[in-house]
């Protein structure tokens, strides 16, 4: 039995932007009342926890990751009362809700930065306490070992502030000055902001961009011990004051570094960390028809503490990041998945799941089943469950953030406003547009992607080994086939997936399971008994089996 406070280990997460999910008042911008009205959809889909992208007051120069007030609601999205109603209604349906805590930086519009730029000393000669909330330099030459993350926009991590006459540090856009986490007051401010939402009842946070909190000369300013110390302090606060709430780390790092963000059983840090390294390898394996890199990277993941759980995903609101691959692999991914240069951004590809996979239902199903079956709690990105497309004409990563497509009516049912008055225009092309791809039509079609996804989530829920089972890769004589077992004391599941565009024959090394009978999880079909170590199978193109070894 998993203790109740480890609910996140068996949860399926659903990431959404309030701004683009459902508009309740017809102004063309999604809002909390609109989202509240769609909670039954999410419940019926079978997800357990909603991750809301930043919903705070913000000038929206980075879609809300530029926070101007940590303890408010962006006026476009409703009021604090609307938020409370939403949270109550979500909880009433058994849905949990996590927010997005943007720790590393604020917006340059934040009152702290506006005060900080007045300089270290105020006109009356008194010290300006807010100046030290940010990281300043007189030369803008320090920390040269830190890479630039938004390579398409920024040329330096320093920008000169004319008002202050000094340079401020920023790992992301220049409109997002980094907070100075060497200042204990900043740490306390962030903890207070977290407490505000935890007091209201949120179930935790995805914590943004955690590797970059502290800067030190002579390092790359990522994953520093001082950064971990601050994050552990955050975890202690949550465990002591809000037991059972979740902290999920966004640390886009290699396995050896990301695992540090879990901490240890004795000195914990995050309950969950995104598995960034495996994500691009799922796509790579499809194009290469070779799953070796998935096995390799999963084998590189160190042991995590008992409380820990990975967060797995195929897509999110950012570009499909290619930071955690080699140069050669990155070149392969660009050639395979970004034939149009508009698809590239920074170190990644700004496309949604369905277009990446040529809208091929078999490939979408294949990657989704692998996502649901690998160790970790899966995170679905809104709209991918109906196969939404993207809009390359929109700037930055906004092309993958278009309005949810609810029906074939005006503005896809997202809003009663005209499409041109929506925050982003709903997609209307003949292939991915709301006239063809929408929730209402898929709810009426038993064979739709939406219905299929809901069924898979139901099957996953019925078999706790998906959430808790130990992973064992099965040796095969065909690299196009990914085969693994997930085992608990009660059951062993066998997952077999064909990453090739043609039917494949394979022999699975099932010596540990001789005498057992594979039975499909949906339908209960009995396969031939495992009579000897080598178990032959045939799989159609992009085919998969979810089996239980009886
Ligand atoms: O708040 C700034 C950004 O923080 C997150 O960024 C992450 O996304 C980057 C790619 O877009 C990635 O390269 C980096 O490693 C991450 O920290 C957030 O998800 C972004 O939306 C945001 O702009
Ligand atoms: Ca609205």
| pLDDT band for position 451 (cuts 50, 70, 90) | very high
| pLDDT per residue as tens digits for the range 227-286 | 999 999 999 999 999 999 999 999 999 999 999 999 999 999 999 999 999 999 999 999
Residues 86 and 32 sit within 8 Å (Cβ to Cβ)? yes
Q: Is residue 245 within 8 Å of residue 276, measured between CB atoms? A: no
The answer on pLDDT for 1 being more than 90 is no
Distance from C-alpha of 99 to C-alpha of 72, rounded to nearest angstrom: 12
Q: How many CA atoms lie within 13 A of 305 on its CB side?
A: 19
Distance 477 CA to ligand 1 centre (A): 39
Q: Is residue 275 a contact partner of residue 376, using CB atoms and an 8 Å limit?
A: yes
ipTM for this prediction? 0.93
The pLDDT of residue 2: 81
- Protein residue closest via CA to atom 17 of ligand 1: 209
Question: What residue's CA is closest to ligand 1, atom 7?
Answer: 209
Placement of tokens 């953030």 in the chain? 401
Q: Answer yes or no: 208 catalytic.
A: yes
Q: Give the span between the Cα atoms of 140 and 151, in whole angstroms.
A: 18
Alpha-helical regions (H) of 64-106: 80-92
- Report the Cα–Cα distance between both ends of the chain, in Å, rounded: 21
Asked if residue 488 has pLDDT above 90, the reply is yes
Is residue 238 within 8 Å of residue 204, measured between CB atoms? yes
Q: Locate all alpha helices (DSSP H) within 46-150, ordered by sequence.
A: 80-92, 111-116
pLDDT tens digit sequence for 70-126: 999 999 999 999 999 999 999 999 999 999 999 999 999 999 999 999 999 999 999
The candidate with the shortest Cα–Cα distance to 53, out of 93, 12, 98, is 98
Q: Which one, of 140, 139, 144, lies nearest residue 218 by Cα?
A: 144
Q: Which residues face 483 on adjacent strands? A: 496
- Phi/psi for 180 (5° steps) reads -95, 95
Which atom of ligand 1 is the closest one to the Cα of 173? 2
Catalytic residue among 66, 76, 100, 250: 250
Q: Could you tell me the two tokens for 270?
A: 């995050």
Cβ < 6 A, ligand 1 pocket:
62, 65, 102, 149, 172, 208-209, 250, 252, 317-319, 321, 323, 346
Q: Kindly state the average pLDDT of the residues 446-454.
A: 98
Q: Which helix (H) or strand (E) holds 69?
A: none
Cβ(20)–Cβ(424) under 8 Å?
yes
State the Cα–Cα distance between residues 430 and 204, nearest whole angstrom.
Answer: 39
The HSE-up count of residue 294 (CA atoms within 13 Å, CB side) is 31
Are the CB atoms for 93 and 35 separated by under 8 Å?
A: no
Here the tokens at position 60 are 């929206």
Query: For residue 60, which ligand has an atom nearest its CA?
Result: 1
Q: How far is the CA of 209 from the centre of ligand 1 (A)?
A: 6
Answer whether residue 182 shows pLDDT above 70: yes
Residue 392 buriedness (CB in 10 A; 0-12 / 13-18 / 19+): middle
pLDDT given at position 449: 98
What is the chain's mean pLDDT, rounded? Answer: 98
Residue 250 known to be catalytic: yes
Beta-bridge partners for 66: none
What is the CA angle 413-418-424, rounded to 5? 80
Q: Express each pLDDT in 395-441 by its tens digit.
A: 999 999 999 999 999 999 999 999 999 999 999 999 999 999 999 99
Q: How far apart are CA 220 and CA 253, in angstroms?
A: 13
Atom of ligand 1 nearest to the CA of 347: 13
Ligand nearest to the CA of 75: 2
Instruction: Concatenate the DSSP letters of all residues of 277-290 into one string.
Output: THHHHHHHHHHHT-
Say how far apart CA 68 and CA 196 lie, in whole Å.
Answer: 15
Best mutation site among 318, 344, 351, 400 for ligand 1, i.e. most ligand atoms within 8 A of its Cβ? 318
CA distance 98 to 51: 5
8 Å CB contact between 147 and 125: no
- The average pLDDT across 463-473 equals 97
Q: What pairing do the DSSP bridges indicate for beta strands 309-313 and 272-274?
A: parallel
Helix, strand, coil share of the chain (percent; to 5): 35, 20, 50
């Amino acid at each position: 039995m998993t203790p109740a406070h480890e609910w996140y280990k068996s949860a399926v997460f659903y990431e959404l932007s309030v701004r683009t999910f459902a508009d309740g008042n017809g102004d063309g911008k999604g809002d909390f009342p609109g989202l509240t009205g769609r909670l039954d959809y999410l419940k019926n889909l079978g997800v357990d926890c909603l991750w809301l992208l930043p919903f705070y007051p913000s000038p929206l120069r980075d879609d809300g990751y530029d926070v101007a007030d940590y303890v408010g609601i962006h006026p476009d999205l409703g009021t604090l009362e609307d938020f409370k109603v939403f949270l109550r209604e979500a909880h009433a349906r058994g849905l949990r809700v996590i927010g997005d805590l943007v720790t590393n930086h604020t917006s340059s519009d934040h009152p702290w930065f506006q005060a900080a730029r007045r300089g270290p000393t105020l006109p009356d000669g008194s010290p300006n306490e807010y100046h030290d909330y940010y990281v300043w330099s007189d030369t803008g030459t320090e920390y040269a070992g830190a890479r630039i993350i938004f390579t398409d926009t920024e040329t330096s991590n320093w920008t000169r502030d004319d008002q202050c006459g000094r340079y401020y540090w920023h790992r992301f856009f220049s409109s997002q000055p980094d907070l100075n986490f060497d200042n204990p007051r900043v740490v306390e401010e962030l903890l207070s902001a977290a407490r505000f939402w935890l007091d209201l009842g949120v179930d935790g946070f995805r914590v943004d961009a955690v590797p970059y909190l502290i800067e030190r000369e002579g390092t790359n300013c990522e994953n520093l011990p001082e950064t971990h110390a601050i994050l552990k302090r955050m975890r202690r606060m949550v465990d002591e004051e809000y037991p059972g709430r979740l902290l999920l780390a966004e640390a886009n790092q290699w396995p050896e570094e990301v695992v540090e963000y879990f901490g240890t059983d004795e000195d914990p840090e995050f309950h969950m960390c995104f598995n960034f390294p495996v994500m691009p390898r799922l796509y790579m394996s499809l194009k290469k028809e070779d799953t070796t890199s998935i096995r390799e990277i999963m084998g590189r993941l160190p042991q995590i503490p008992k409380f820990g759980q990975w967060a797995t995903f195929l897509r999110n609101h950012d570009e499909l990041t290619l930071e955690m691959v080699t140069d050669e692999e990155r070149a392969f991914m660009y050639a395979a998945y970004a034939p149009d240069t508009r698809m590239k951004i920074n170190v990644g590809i700004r496309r949604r799941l369905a277009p990446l996979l040529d809208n091929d239902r078999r490939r979408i199903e294949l990657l989704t089943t692998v996502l649901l079956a690998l160790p970790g709690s899966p995170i679905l990105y809104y709209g991918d469950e109906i196969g939404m497309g993207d809009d390359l004409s929109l700037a930055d990563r906004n092309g993958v953030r278009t309005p949810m497509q609810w029906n074939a009516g005006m503005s896809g049912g997202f809003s009663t406003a005209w499409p041109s008055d929506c925050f982003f225009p709903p997609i209307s092309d003949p292939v991915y547009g709301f006239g063809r791809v929408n929730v209402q039509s898929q709810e009426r079609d038993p064979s739709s992607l939406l219905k299929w996804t809901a069924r898979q989530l139901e099957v996953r829920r019925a078999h706790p080994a998906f959430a808790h089972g130990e992973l064992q890769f099965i040796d095969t004589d065909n690299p196009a086939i990914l085969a693994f077992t997930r085992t608990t004391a009660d059951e062993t599941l066998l997952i077999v997936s064909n990453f090739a565009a043609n039917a494949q024959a394979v022999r699975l090394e099932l010596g540990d399971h001789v005498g057992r009978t594979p039975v499909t999880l949906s339908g209960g079909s009995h396969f031939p008994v495992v009579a000897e170590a080598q178990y032959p199978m045939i799989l159609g193109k992009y085919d998969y089996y979810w089996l239980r070894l009886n």
